[in-house]
Chain A
Amino acid sequence: MAELMGPESVPGFMPPIPASTQLLAVAWVRWRIFVNGMFRKRPKGTRQIVGLVFATLLRLIVWPMLALVVIGPVAASGFFAWTAISEGHPKSLASLLLGIALLWQFVSINGLSIAATIPSFDPASLVRFPLRFGRYFVLRTLLGLMTPSTIVGCLAVLAAAVGIGVANASLALPALIVMAVYALMNIYLTRMIGAWMERWLANRRFREIFSMLMALFVVSIQFMNLQRAPMRAPGTRSSWLLAVLHSSGSYLYWLPSGFAAQAILLVKHPLAAVAQFAGLLASTVLFAAVFAVRLHKEFLGEHLSEGASRRVQVPSAPRVKAQSPQPAARSAPAASGVIVSPTVAACLRKEWLILRGNGSQLIGLLTPLMFVVIFSMNRAFSAVSAKYFLPAAIAYVLIAALSSLYNIFGADGRGVQVYLLAPIRMRDVVVAKNLMSLALIVALVGLAWIIICVLARAPVPVSMQISTALWTVFVVAMNLAIGTIRSIQAPRHFVPGQGRQQRATPTNRTSALLVLAVLFGCMLLQIPAAIASSYFAAPWLGAWIFGPLAVAAVFAYALMLRNAERLILAHRDMFAEELCKT
């Protein structure tokens, strides 16, 4: 024990810590976190068995679906690369690589709910250890390699290299080398964008400007699309954006994807190939350097200083308004003219204030709309049939919005005790939180609906609109019901506004899998409905299928609401354990 009591006896110079020691330590701890996350202690007895069976079933359902989502683009990359070389369309290689880069960013933006299934830790906490910046940079680079975007992107790039190699064996080695650098470039590009966006979104003024710019972008694209390609007849509207992209093909060679493609294709002209490869390397170094600038600020404690500055800006003396003593509001009936009870109204206001101050969450919800705009104008999506694009786009928009329903108390943290201590019915709190979520979902779905109807090449049939509306009611009501139960049974504390760099995912793994399973399941329901509707030439079949399902889902939600009070009281210990722990 005496060893504990004193400092190291060797003063002064210490040999440097080998990089391998620290890198292996972080790799090992990352692995242990993953393993411990998989086998975290669970409730005993029957609940344990039920929980295990449930989680296993979820994985069996969701993982193959996720695998399909990954395998699709990966196989397509390999096939298109092979086609480009073997059938003599080498120029399309640059477009393919640009597509992979866009896919990489797309998955990065949309991969949060999948990332929730991978337990991790805040890598910024490593700054307190004796690390030099260079080593910290390497660690931060390595720690993000297990993200969905990196996995999907790297596999797509590898598939493209294999495709090229199969088509022309002499290009195999250069393709492999160039694609490795191209993957690295994409990794740093994603990190750079993520890190800087997170930094900017931390600033309230920037969030406001950014939200406004995004809204302007959506509106102006629609406006320009209508101006440049007015609807002459159904099926004749063209996308000006696609036309611009098509005509700017030669400019693609000045992008990293162009450098990479040229570096492979010009392999018989070594000097030109090396020059193109140097361009790709320079892009990689540039993105890494811009990412490093942000990391260096973090290394110097910027994230800590933000917390401190936020704290000091809090007014020291709270305003105290003269108030008359109030009796405990036990969900008193609403005052005249007020629709909801005072408890619901107070909770709604609180939820709104938190949401209003959390611009990054709002922007996260609005981002899918941007993709809806882009896809709406893309012939590949809207030309086949606008009527099938509508439900697909609504489902896509719902993915981001619905995952928050599965942990409605998570952002309250220890504040949840206020609800449990106050003389109120917890059911009212649930109603308020669900109402706020519902308002957001209605707004998002409504916007997406308008965008599709305005930009789609052909009008969406009324039968499909009704069918989609009923499907949406079904999905939202069902997710509200299941999500609320899950929020009560498995709450998880998270800090709203903490970004993906901190890996602050708002749901736990099972909930994240559940939301994916429910959503995939609901989307899959659309397929047989659409096939049957087409086969029997019965356009209203979807409405007949989803109408009763919507009613049943609303009924299930009402049933859940009736039991919410009892359910929450039965899970008070879970709230204390997961949300109130220091």
Chain B
Amino acid sequence: MTTPAIDATALTRRFGDFTAVDQVNLRVDAGQFFGFLGPNGAGKSTTIKMLTGLLAPTSGSIRILGGDLQANPAEIKRQIGVVPEGMALFGRLTADEYLRFVGRMYGLDRATTLSRTRELLEFMQLAGEQKKLIADFSHGMQKKLALAAAVIHGPKVLFLDEPFEGVDAVAAGTLKAMLLRMIARGATIFLTSHVLEIVERLCTHIAIIHRGQLVAQGSLDELRAGAGRIGQAEIQEAAALPGAEMRSLEQIFLEIVGTDREGNPAATAPEQELSWLS
């Protein structure tokens, strides 16, 4: 049995009385393009922060590439790249300065940092913005820069929180190609996105978190077949219906998170509200 790239066991995070992430068990094998989905406030960002060492879990364990994240956070952080929520860029630097800083912080030598910075800026089509401060970049340009910073040290595991948000179609195509090439070379990518078409197209395996609990995990085919779902008997029965294997990820997602714990529809029918709207 190979060492999983990401292995979280009974991962829990509480904020006071509120449990944001509750007993999540997550296993991502090396080389997987893993999609992590959930509605707003489900616990996705909290989970990613814990998996990347930004936030200590209340309980549970995290192993990245076989190493204990809590015991060796600095060593593990060198093996991972992150495009965090909010991107965490330094607005008063230029793109070139920022990448050089990140490269040095990850321990790259000066020559490697410079050559990779140049290469990444070219690749991300940011080379023409040498003197522009990051604060003056468009949102899409900032996303591309954040992605460049996440890969400058050649991480084995990449965590991406909404990486394509605000990125134009041409650049998104380039980035997707880059990520797929990384996968082909053995990297592992952990991606969250609300654009389910992108997840469906890129990811081989998917997990869905809802109200802090993992409610589904497996390959797309397994989810279509109703396998990999956790604690939702009614939906598993629905998945067994004829034609279920043709459903899109969006349909599966809505089936899983569009219900409450008892399997009843969670959302209020739109026509029941805001009747005064013309």
- Residue numbers of A with Cβ under 8 A of B are 1, 3-8, 11, 14-15, 17-18, 21-22, 24-26, 28-29, 32-33, 36-37, 40-41, 119, 121, 125-132, 300-301, 304-305, 308-309, 311-313, 316, 320, 325, 577, 581-582
Contact = CB atoms under 8 A, between A and B. Distances in A.
B178 interface: yes
B154 A7 contact: yes
Contact of A316 (B41, B73, B90, B181): B41
B74 A121 contact: no
Given A8-B154, A312-B18, A582-B139, A33 B45 contact: no
A45 to B, nearest CB: 18
A5 B185 contact: yes
Interface stretch (B46-54, B201-209, B220-228, B232-240): B46-54
A325 B276 CA distance: 8
B93 A29 contact: yes
A180 to B, nearest CB: 29
A41 to B, nearest CB: 7
Contact of A130 (B75, B92, B135, B154): B75
A8 to B, nearest CB: 4
Contacts of B53: 128
19 contacts: A1-B119, A5-B178, A5-B182, A6-B182, A7-B155, A8-B155, A8-B156, A26-B105, A37-B92, A128-B54, A128-B84, A131-B74, A300-B56, A301-B56, A305-B55, A308-B45, A308-B55, A312-B20, A316-B41
Contacts of B77: 128-131
B114 to A, nearest CB: 13
A119 B91 CA distance: 11
Contact of B41 (A7, A22, A311, A320): A311
B119 A8 contact: no
Contact of B78 (A1, A5, A6, A14): A14
Contacts of A304: 49, 54-55
A298 B97 CA distance: 26
Contact of A11 (B16, B52, B107, B156): B156
B1 interface: no
Given A6-B187, A128-B53, 11 more contacts: A6-B182, A6-B186, A7-B187, A8-B153, A25-B101, A26-B105, A32-B97, A40-B133, A126-B105, A128-B88, A305-B55
B137 to A, nearest CB: 9
Given A5-B178, A36-B133, A582-B142, A14 B84 contact: no
A313 B18 contact: yes
Interface string B174-203: 000010011011110000000000000000
3 tightest A-B CB contacts, nearest first:
A6-B185, A301-B55, A309-B15
A21 B16 CA distance: 39
B18 A130 contact: no
B16 A127 contact: no
B182 A130 contact: no
A581 B78 CA distance: 31
Contacts of A126: 105
Contacts of A121: 90, 92
B28 interface: no
A25 B117 CA distance: 15
A125 to B, nearest CB: 5
Contacts of B102: 129
B106 interface: yes
A129 B105 contact: yes
A454 to B, nearest CB: 43
B123 interface: yes
Nearest to B21: A308
Contacts of A132: 73-74
Interface in B138-168: 139, 142, 151, 153-156, 166
A364 to B, nearest CB: 25
**Residue of A15, A18, A28, A305 with highest tally of chain B CB at under 10 A:** A305
B216 interface: no
B116 interface: yes
Contacts of A316: 41
B217 to A, nearest CB: 23
A312 B93 contact: no
Contacts of A28: 101, 104
Nearest to B188: A7
Contacts of B187: 6-7
B54 A36 contact: no
A36 B93 contact: yes
B107 A17 contact: yes
B155 A130 contact: no
Given A3-B116, A17-B106, A21-B104, A130 B78 contact: yes
Nearest to A136: B74
Nearest to A12: B65
A46 B136 CA distance: 22
B75 A14 contact: yes
B38 to A, nearest CB: 13
Nearest to A129: B105
A119 B92 contact: yes
A21 to B, nearest CB: 6
B142 to A, nearest CB: 7
A7 B75 CA distance: 16
B106 A309 contact: no
A6 B136 CA distance: 30
A17 B90 CA distance: 22
B164 to A, nearest CB: 14
B214 interface: no
Nearest to B88: A125
A33 B185 CA distance: 36
A340 B97 CA distance: 51
Contacts of A300: 55-56
A279 B16 CA distance: 39
A18 B107 CA distance: 8
B6 interface: no
B94 interface: yes
A36 B90 CA distance: 11
B105 to A, nearest CB: 4
Interface string B68-108: 00000111011000101000101011100100011011110
Given A22-B104, A128-B82, A4 B55 contact: no
Given A7-B155, A11-B156, A128-B88, A24 B104 contact: yes
B120 interface: yes
Contact of A32 (B49, B93, B116, B142): B93
A130 B16 contact: no
